[in-house]
Structures are given as structure tokens and as C-alpha cells.
Chains A and B, each alone.
Chain A
Amino acid sequence: MRKIYNKIQNISGNVISVKASDVSYEELAEITTQRGKSLAQVIKMDDENVSLQVFTGSRGVSINDEVRFLGRPMEVTFSDNMLGRIFDGAGSPRDKGPLLTENLIPVAGPSVNPSKRIIPRRMIRTNIPMIDVFNSLVVSQKLPIFSVSGEPYNELLARIALQAEVDMIILGGIGLKYDEYMKFKNTLESGGALSRSIFFMNTASDPIVESLMVPDLSLAVAEKFALKGKDVLVLLTDMTNFADAMKEIAITMEQVPSNRGYPGDLYTQLAARYEKAVDFDDAGSITILAVTTMPGDDVTHPVPDNTGYITEGQFYLHNGYIDPFGSLSRLKQQVNSADQSRKDHRAIMDGMIQLYAQFMETEEKRAMGFRMSGWDQKLLKYGGMFRSQMMDLSVNIPLEEALDRGWEIMAKCFTPEETRMRTELIKEFWPKNTDQ
């Protein structure tokens, strides 16, 4: 039987401290307050003084409340029974299903030995042309959606999750609005994907400290499934809330902030999670798609900035479109070469974006009142078609169809030479009998 302490020395923010002995670093404890029981985790030890962050927050904790150390670090159950289930940030069921206590595994385990990783070479098809054609998603990629709040990023996540040919989906909700959570649930349910999904859900009304656990729980479970050969897609939304929760604890612990109040280890903390993305030699994989909302639409804000330095590209969601310029999949060249994809894939990708860039310049010129030449008119027509038939998020077509559509759009707007496409490709792919 572990010893019980009931003299809390200090309560500050969501951190309490007690005098205790024989405690392990990062060990869990259970606190019983008049509001009920809560988990807490050791975050600092100084001789007898042990500081713990309280998962449900310190509100209502009294100095005589009981603190019982559990003799184990944060763990989570792992089994096939988790599929279709919904858990909270402490790993307890938040649906009406049974408590799962079998096969506990530690969270935030060691990192993968880099020499055991392989170069990722499998494309994840999403049927969204702005992704498949222009910034292909690759198995084991870690990629955030950068956007301001209000954009349909969660819809986009849910849609990719449904479309992607992965074995299972783990959704980590971090401070997610309740209706967004419900929307996710309904979308996956109606898409028939709930039975291959697991939710770790911390909503906006749940304790903020618990949200800190969500990425670790999601990724620990994902890792086990991946080792069993499963291709797992992990969705984390919204990682800015995660960073903010860390900021809060850091300030409580009187850590010196480095940048706009965020702790100096923000990069390390985010990287520890994102780097769990992996394609195992001879086993499965973890792909991470996250949402990073940008406060004030400012990409230099510490959260998107540190994220960008960690992830393998990003999708910018602007006015309901995936912006073709800021968006980048750093792994796309691993999957879109002539021997892996259709041989016009790279040419369409580069060519159409260059033309779209010219269209943007023309549009700027038009806005400034400059005269529009014949070439400008063509570009304007092209830009409109590109937006409505490629960029629009309602477009839902396979990669090959999107490439064909690319040629059609170009043929409706330009002569072959004007597109600067290679002659060889034009011969093969330029649509016959089109009316310009």
C-alpha cells in the first residue's frame, strides 16, 4: 500500500506541492477533493518537496485533501477493444462503454532510432487536388494545417481521415469546441469509419491540464498499433491549445519565458510529439495531421513558427482554400516522380502553379488599374477556372482525374506553347478538339 499524504503545502495555478518521500519523477498521484478524484503528475522534486500538476485543475483543492501516489507513470490501455471508443485526456472512457484496464502501456516513450527509419515512399490519397496533385501527403509525414480560427480546418481533417486509405484513425482533441467534437463524431460515423477510430477528447470545457496528455496518449496507442503493422493516421486539433496549456504551467512554475510567454522548450516539447511520426521498417506507420491555429493570422507567432521548424511542410487554409503558395509538402518529391506517379504529375504541379502565380500578378495589376493585354485576359480566365475546378474544397476527384482536368483547364485557356509544358507531354496529354 502506498503512503497517503494529506498536507498540501502550496497551491498555485494548477500546481500543488506536498512533502513526500519515495516518489518517482513523473509519477502519477490521485487527489481526492470534495469535487471528486483527479490525477496529478510529478513535475519537480526538491528534497521532500514534490510539485504536481493537477489534471482537473486546482480549483476547489483544499490543503487537507488527500494525495495518494500511484507508484507508476502515466499509462494508457492498449487493445483492439479501444476501436470505436472515446476517452478523455486522462485516458478514462467518456462514452458509456466499459473501463479498459488491460495491457497498460507507458506514454511518451523513447524515440525511434534514426537508423531504423526508412525513407517514406507511399502516397496517401485524399481526392483533394490541392493535396494529391500539388502537395502530396505521404505515409509517416507530420503536417499541420495553419489557419485562423473560423476556417473549415476540422472539416478538412475529417474529410482527409475518411478518404485516406489508412487502417485506423486516432483523433486527439485538445480544447476542441463541443460542437466540433460532435461534428467529427457524426462525420466519421456516417462515413462508416468510427469502428476503426479511437478518440482522445479534451473539449474546451474540460480541464486544461488534461489536454496536455492528449497528444501523448494518442501517439502512444498509435505507436503500438503501428508496431503491429497498422498504418495509423493521428489527427491532433488544435495544437495551439496544447502549447497554451504548456505556457500556463510554465508560468505557474515561474520558468523564464522565451518568447511571448511561451517556455524556452516549446520547440523540444512539440518536436517530441511530432517526431513520433514514423514509417517502421517491416511494420506499420504513423502519419500526423494537426491543426495549428495562428493567433492574429501571424505565422511568426511562436506556435506556428516552432511548428513549421518541426513539421514536414504545412497546408495554409485561407478563405476556405488550401493556398497553393505557402503550402508545402516537403515529402512530395518522394512520391510524385514519373516512376511512382503518372509521368505528367510533376509537370502539371509546377506548370499550373507558375501560371497561377502569373494570374495573381495580373489580378494585382488589374486592381491597380493597369491595362489588360490579351495575355492578361487569358490568365484571368485561367485563374477563375483553377479556383473553381481545382482549389475549391468541394472538388473530390482522384489524382488521375485531377491531372486530366488540369490539361483541360489549360487547353481551354492557352495554346500549348504558352503553357511552357514539355513537347513530349503535350503530345501525349493535350486534349484534342477543345474550344479556346
Chain B
Amino acid sequence: MSPSTGKIVGISGNMVTVEFDGNIMQNEVAYILKGEERLKSEIVRIGDSVAFMQVFESTKGLKIGDKVEFSGELLSVQLGPGLLGQVYDGLQNPLPDLAEEYGFFLPRGVELKALDDERKWKFTPVANKGDTVIQGMLLGHVPEGIFEHAIMVPFHLPGEYTVEDIAAEGEYAIKETIAKIKDEKGNTHEISMTFNWPVKIPIEAYRDKIVPEEPLVTQARIIDTFFPVAKGGTFCIPGPFGAGKTVLQHILSRHAQVDVVIVAACGERAGEVVELLREFPELEDPRTGKTLMERTIIICNTSSMPVAAREASVYTAVTLGEYYKQMGLDVLLLADSTSRWAQAMRELSGRLEEIPGEEAFPAYLESRIAEFYERSGLMELNSGEYGSLTIGGTVSPAGGNFEEPVTQATLKVVGAFLGLSRDRANARRFPSIHPLESWSKYESFIDQKNIDEATDKLRRGNDVNQMMMVVGEEGTSIEDFQLYLKSEFLDSVYLQQNAFDEVDAATNKERQTHVFQRVQQVLDTDFHLESKDQARDLFNRLRQLFIDWNYAKMDSPDFKQIEESIEKLIKEHSENEENLQ
């Protein structure tokens, strides 16, 4: 079937209406032909003999009557070895390649190959002639960065197949045939190491979706201990501007203990991506000894890049995430910011003159957000292995007010809410996750009972603080005052974490468990205190010791020594000194 064609009959912003002949489908890709340029677009609605298309480029200079060529394909990404370490725009064009060819500015109407066709990969077959395989099952693998990249039966092939032929170990380019498989009807399919997948359709080549339980260790104490995220789970980070969403995501992208990280910079500042681009190739991933870039893919559609491509970029990112998950890996997708994606939907909806919902967002906002987060999960794969895709998105609520459609729709579907607070950010208490308002439905590696007790102290100490504002320190009892100091202590030595200190920036599970016990010991001790000045002094000293402790490497003599000083100080001041000994 030759692809359909059409011509432009209307233009408004990045939306064009097109009269067409022949068959077209919803979400099909089309190209507007403008001289040498081919402007990529996507059909978003089909009406009476006209198609409405969002254009992924600037529409400047287009005319009524300009030709349109439909592709017959849905908006897709290319999957295969070589994705790791790449920096793509929202439509999977490699940005460094674009820069090399076109210089400082992003050209219009250009598409570049997402993967290198010529590069050879060392293929090792796993499946044998005669094996029965289904979609997602392993045919062989090639080494990519830190692990074996699985070459799988493409996800769009339904049913069972018999392996007819499989390539011998050797060097192959991604488009060379590495296997021939025969379907039940006897038709043979040639399989290469790469295939395309439509971004808006979830990959479902797995056996089962399982409830996520195992914690994903982020090495951020306030998250892992108090508001944990599970492998295969979801979380959101809403917060007003400047509260620390992006910095927190960058911290997670560095320190989270996962195999692959996908960063989707969606409609935010280009400068922030540049930091990742320039620094990740230099930074070592302590788990593997390789650079962080080798486990990372960056999808970068920043705020001044075309809005429609911004809408596509989160789908591109999640599809790449699903692909690596299918290999039995733990993948973390970080999207900053999902509000910009929602705004892109809003702009599109406005141009389509759809009936607007709250704050002019489209009525389907909620279901789109839900569908997106639903693509996360812990899966039992067709091979019997497990893979997970965890999704965390920032939300940038208008006016910093969480009572708005995007935050509310997100809160309905995620498993953990890490709400950032303007006050904490202003007080430089980072990460500025609000410890009393945030929540998580997942389980921490620390006993829930202990966490509840600590949270209770935090809450009560906070109440005392509120009251002190009114009645002053004089009007507060020493017991209450101690409670207040304890909550401040917990906050400053455990909840807060210095992202710029090499040691404090990342606290692993073993260390968190160990340190939390000590923190708890302080919280549980009834200190023998005569005056408020003495109380303040004691807690100042405790705080200083714990902060020094946080800065000491766990296997260093300092670590031991400081811990001894802490123990000593607690003992000296605890009321039941005799009982403790």
C-alpha cells in the first residue's frame, strides 16, 4: 500500500489541519514537505475528511496547500544495542550528532539515525536451533557498557516460533540478520538486533506484573528510611520553583542503586541538562567502576524546543525504560517535569478546541497521567527472570499550590509522594522533602515501628516549636523543650543530607540501618537536663558529632572514634546511667 498524501488547509501555532486521500490512522506519523525540509508531525484527531496534526517543529513559513506525506507508521523509537550513553531529543534524534552536522542551532525538518548502523557488536547466541521461543525471549546477547544487552524476539511478534537458524558467535551490525524463526503457519521471519516500537503503546512481552516490594535504594536517607520507593514502583516530587526538584532528581540519577537510569528533561532548562552531559562522562559509578554515562540515557526536550516533541519525549523515555526492563534489569526513569508534559497536552487540546477541564487542562489529563505511571512495574519476564521499571516524576504546580490538576491526578496513581516545601528550601534544609506531609505506600528496610516512633517525635517536636512562637521559650517546659530539640536533631543529622559532600551525599542501606539506630537511641533517651541552656548545649554537641560522623567514611578510624564519642556523650547525660551499664 502506497502511503497516503494530503495538503494543508489550516495552521494555528503548531497545529495544522490536513485534507487527505486514502487511509490514515490515529497517531500516525506524517511529514510536511517544505523544500528540503521534512517536518515531522503526528495525527492527533481525524475528522470529516481532515486530519489534525501536531507538528514537532516550528510551523513558521508553512502555507495553505503545502504537501503532506503520511508514513503509515505510528510514532516509534528504535530499540537495540547502543542506546546507553546517548543524548536524544524527544523524538530520539541524537543531539551530539545534530550538533556535529548542523552546529550551534537545532535544524528544522531533519531526522538522524538513533543508532549507529555500522558499528559491530560481538554477538553470542543463546538460543539453539529448534528451540521454541516467544516475544521477549532471549536469542543471544552483546556486551553493552556494564552488562549483556539481550537480543530478544521482537515484541510485536505474537505467538510461538521455532528457531530455524541462529548466527554463530561473531561481530555483527545491528541490521544484519542474526536469527531466522518460523511461526506456526510455517512463515520464516528474519530477526536482526534492532526493531521499532510505537512509543504510546506499552510493551507487554512479559508473563506477569507483580506487586513491587523490594526497596530501591536511592541512598537518600529521608527517602529510603521514611518514604521509600520500591523497585518497579512510582513516586512523584511536587514542589514550587526553586524548591529542589531538579537537584533531587540529579542526586537520584547519580546514587540510586539500579542498572539503568533514564533522565527525561521535559520542558525544563537546557542549562540543567548541560550539567549532566558534561559531568556524567567524568563521574564514576561506584557499583561498576565505569562512568555514570554508561548506565544513563538522556532524553532532552528542553523548554524552548518544540512543544509537541515535548509531549512525545516522556513516551520515548518510558519506552526505552521498558525495553531495558525486558532484559531483566532494574531501570529508573526520572522525568522532570511532568507538568510541562501536561502543559504540552493542554496547548494541543486548546488548539483542537476541546472542551477544557480545570485550569484548561483536557478532560483526559488524569487518564494520560495514570497510563504513564502504569507503564512502571516489576515484571516476571517470559524467560522467568525479573525486571523492573521505576518511574519518578517531578510536578511543578502553578503557584506552588498542590491543589491543582496535575499534582492531584498524579497523587492518585503514585506509590510515594515526596512533597518539597518552600519553607524548608528557604531554610536551606535539603533535600527539602517535607517530613510530615510526604508519604509512601512501600516498605522501608527499617522496621516500620521505629519509623513511626521517630515520625511521632518529629510531629510533637514541631508542635512544641509552633507553641514556642506564641509563648516564648520561657513559657515552655523543659520536657517539651527536649522534645523540640530531639525533632530538630533528627531533622538536621538524618533527614538533611549534604549533596555536595562526597561521603554524606550517598548513604547505603547498611550505613542507614546503623546510623538510624544511634539516632533512635538519642530520640529514646530521657536526658537528664537542668536548664534549657544545658539542653541546647547538649544537643548542639550531639548534632555536631553526628554531622562529623556523617562526613566520615564508614570504614575509616574516624567513623569508629566519633561513634564512641557519641556513645559516651549519650551515657554521660542519660538519666538512667546506672541501668544502662
Spell out A's residues near B (CB within 8 Å): 21-27, 43-48, 73, 108-120, 140, 227, 255-259, 263-265, 267-268, 271-272, 275-276, 280, 300-302, 305, 308-310, 312-313, 325-326, 328, 330-331, 365, 368, 370-371
Residues of A within 8 A of B278 (CB): 118-119
Within 8 A of A (CB), among B64-97: 64, 87, 95-96
| Count, chain B residues at interface, CB 8 A | 60
Residue in B104, B267, B474 whose CB lies within 8 Å of A116: B104
With both chains docked as a complex, state the minimum distance between the C-beta of A74 and any C-beta of chain B, in angstroms: 10
Complex-state Cα separation, A111 to B303, whole angstroms: 10
Asked if A300 and B359 make an inter-chain contact with CB atoms under 8 angstroms apart, the answer reads no
B277 at the interface (CB under 8 A from A): yes
Asked if A227 and B104 make an inter-chain contact with CB atoms under 8 angstroms apart, the answer reads yes
Spell out B's residues near A (CB within 8 Å): 9-13, 17, 58-64, 87, 95-96, 98-99, 102-108, 240-242, 267, 269-271, 273-275, 277-278, 300, 302-305, 307, 340, 343, 346-347, 350, 356, 359-361, 396, 398-401, 426, 472, 474
Q: List 13 A-B contacts (CB under 8 A).
A: A110-B105, A111-B106, A114-B87, A114-B300, A114-B302, A116-B103, A119-B274, A227-B104, A275-B303, A300-B398, A305-B399, A313-B242, A371-B474
Query: With A47-B10, A109-B105, A114-B302 given, can you name 5 additional A-B contacts, CB distance below 8 Å?
Result: A24-B60, A24-B62, A114-B270, A118-B274, A227-B104
Asked if B399 and A268 make an inter-chain contact with CB atoms under 8 angstroms apart, the answer reads no
Residues of A within 8 A of B305 (CB): 111
Residue in A227, A268, A328 whose CB lies within 8 Å of B303: A268
Asked if B95 and A115 make an inter-chain contact with CB atoms under 8 angstroms apart, the answer reads yes
Complex-state Cα separation, A61 to B471, whole angstroms: 68
Residue in B63, B98, B401, B472 whose CB lies within 8 Å of A365: B472
Residues of A within 8 A of B474 (CB): 371
Main secondary structure of the interface of B (DSSP, over half): mixed
Complex-state Cα separation, A325 to B12, whole angstroms: 43
Residues of B within 8 A of A117 (CB): 270-271, 274
With both chains docked as a complex, state the minimum distance between the C-beta of B410 and any C-beta of chain A, in angstroms: 17
Residue in B107, B303, B350, B396 whose CB lies within 8 Å of A110: B107
With both chains docked as a complex, state the minimum distance between the C-beta of B276 and any C-beta of chain A, in angstroms: 10
Asked if A308 and B241 make an inter-chain contact with CB atoms under 8 angstroms apart, the answer reads yes
Main secondary structure of the interface of A (DSSP, over half): loop
Asked if B269 and A267 make an inter-chain contact with CB atoms under 8 angstroms apart, the answer reads no
Residues of A within 8 A of B356 (CB): 256
The 10 closest A-B pairs by CB, nearest first: A300-B399, A271-B303, A275-B304, A308-B241, A258-B360, A111-B304, A115-B95, A114-B270, A46-B10, A309-B241
Complex-state Cα separation, A275 to B272, whole angstroms: 12
Complex-state Cα separation, A330 to B241, whole angstroms: 11
Asked if B64 and A47 make an inter-chain contact with CB atoms under 8 angstroms apart, the answer reads yes
With both chains docked as a complex, state the minimum distance between the C-beta of B416 and any C-beta of chain A, in angstroms: 23
Residues of A within 8 A of B106 (CB): 110-113
Asked if B104 and A265 make an inter-chain contact with CB atoms under 8 angstroms apart, the answer reads no
Asked if B270 and A309 make an inter-chain contact with CB atoms under 8 angstroms apart, the answer reads no
Asked if B396 and A44 make an inter-chain contact with CB atoms under 8 angstroms apart, the answer reads no
With both chains docked as a complex, state the minimum distance between the C-beta of B268 and any C-beta of chain A, in angstroms: 8
Asked if A370 and B9 make an inter-chain contact with CB atoms under 8 angstroms apart, the answer reads no
| Complex: chain B residue closest to A369, CB-CB | B472
Asked if B64 and A45 make an inter-chain contact with CB atoms under 8 angstroms apart, the answer reads yes
Tell me whether A24 and B61 are in contact in the complex, defined as CB-CB below 8 angstroms, given that A113-B99, A268-B303 are known contacts.
yes
Asked if A328 and B307 make an inter-chain contact with CB atoms under 8 angstroms apart, the answer reads no
Residues of B within 8 A of A272 (CB): 303-304
Asked if B359 and A259 make an inter-chain contact with CB atoms under 8 angstroms apart, the answer reads yes
Asked if A110 and B277 make an inter-chain contact with CB atoms under 8 angstroms apart, the answer reads no
Complex-state Cα separation, A26 to B63, whole angstroms: 10
Asked if B472 and A370 make an inter-chain contact with CB atoms under 8 angstroms apart, the answer reads yes
Residues of B within 8 A of A115 (CB): 87, 95-96, 98-99, 277
Asked if A280 and B472 make an inter-chain contact with CB atoms under 8 angstroms apart, the answer reads no
Complex-state Cα separation, A267 to B397, whole angstroms: 12
Complex-state Cα separation, A164 to B271, whole angstroms: 22
Tell me whether A268 and B95 are in contact in the complex, defined as CB-CB below 8 angstroms, given that A112-B104, A280-B104, A312-B269 are known contacts.
no
Tell me whether A113 and B105 are in contact in the complex, defined as CB-CB below 8 angstroms, given that A275-B303, A275-B304, A365-B472 are known contacts.
yes
Asked if B11 and A25 make an inter-chain contact with CB atoms under 8 angstroms apart, the answer reads yes
Residues of A within 8 A of B346 (CB): 258, 264
Complex-state Cα separation, A55 to B346, whole angstroms: 28
- A21, A257, A275, A365 interface centre (most CB from chain B within 10 Å): A275
With both chains docked as a complex, state the minimum distance between the C-beta of A214 and any C-beta of chain B, in angstroms: 18
Residues of A within 8 A of B61 (CB): 24-27, 73
Asked if A23 and B63 make an inter-chain contact with CB atoms under 8 angstroms apart, the answer reads yes
With both chains docked as a complex, state the minimum distance between the C-beta of B548 and any C-beta of chain A, in angstroms: 13
With both chains docked as a complex, state the minimum distance between the C-beta of A107 and any C-beta of chain B, in angstroms: 10
Tell me whether A47 and B241 are in contact in the complex, defined as CB-CB below 8 angstroms, given that A25-B60, A264-B347, A305-B399 are known contacts.
no
